[in-house]
Amino acid sequence: MFEGLDLAELLKLGSGLFALILLSISLLAYYRSRQRRLLFVSGAFGLYFIKIITEHLDLFLPNLETSFLDLLLAFIDFIILLLFFLAIVKNDRKGTTTQ
């Protein structure tokens, strides 16, 4: 089942695992600080993890339609970028003024 994996595929799977770790850390940071922007970052890391798993679904489901999978992966990429953008521009200040 996994005999066709090369170094690039292992690095992709490793980056997915790293995204899962970053998801856990960012959720923990959110629970401690309650900054809403961390939810956007957590969502982006979670979607990246899902994207990596989705890219490797053909290992488990070889008859999966690839055109649908390509469309889904492109949509996930767009949402990940959107979430990171929202995390950057989101203002978490409550009742403070800028000087």
What is the per-residue pLDDT across 43-75, written as a single tens digit (0 to 9) for each? 999 999 999 988 887 777 777 777 888 888 999
The span from the CA of 50 to the CA of 77, in Å, is: 11
In a domain, 36, yes or no: no
In a domain, 75, yes or no: yes
In a domain, 18, yes or no: no
Say how many domains are in the chain.
1
Tell whether the model's pLDDT for residue 15 goes beyond 70: yes
In a domain, 30, yes or no: no
The span from the CA of 93 to the CA of 99, in Å, is: 13
In a domain, 79, yes or no: yes
Q: pTM for this structure?
A: 0.79
Domain of residue 80, residue span: 48-90
Confidence (pLDDT) at 80: 95
In a domain, 71, yes or no: yes
Number of helices and strands in the chain (H, E): 3, 0
The span from the CA of 17 to the CA of 52, in Å, is: 9
Residue 36: alpha-carbon gap to chain centroid: 17
Residue 99: alpha-carbon gap to chain centroid: 35
Tell whether the model's pLDDT for residue 99 goes beyond 80: no
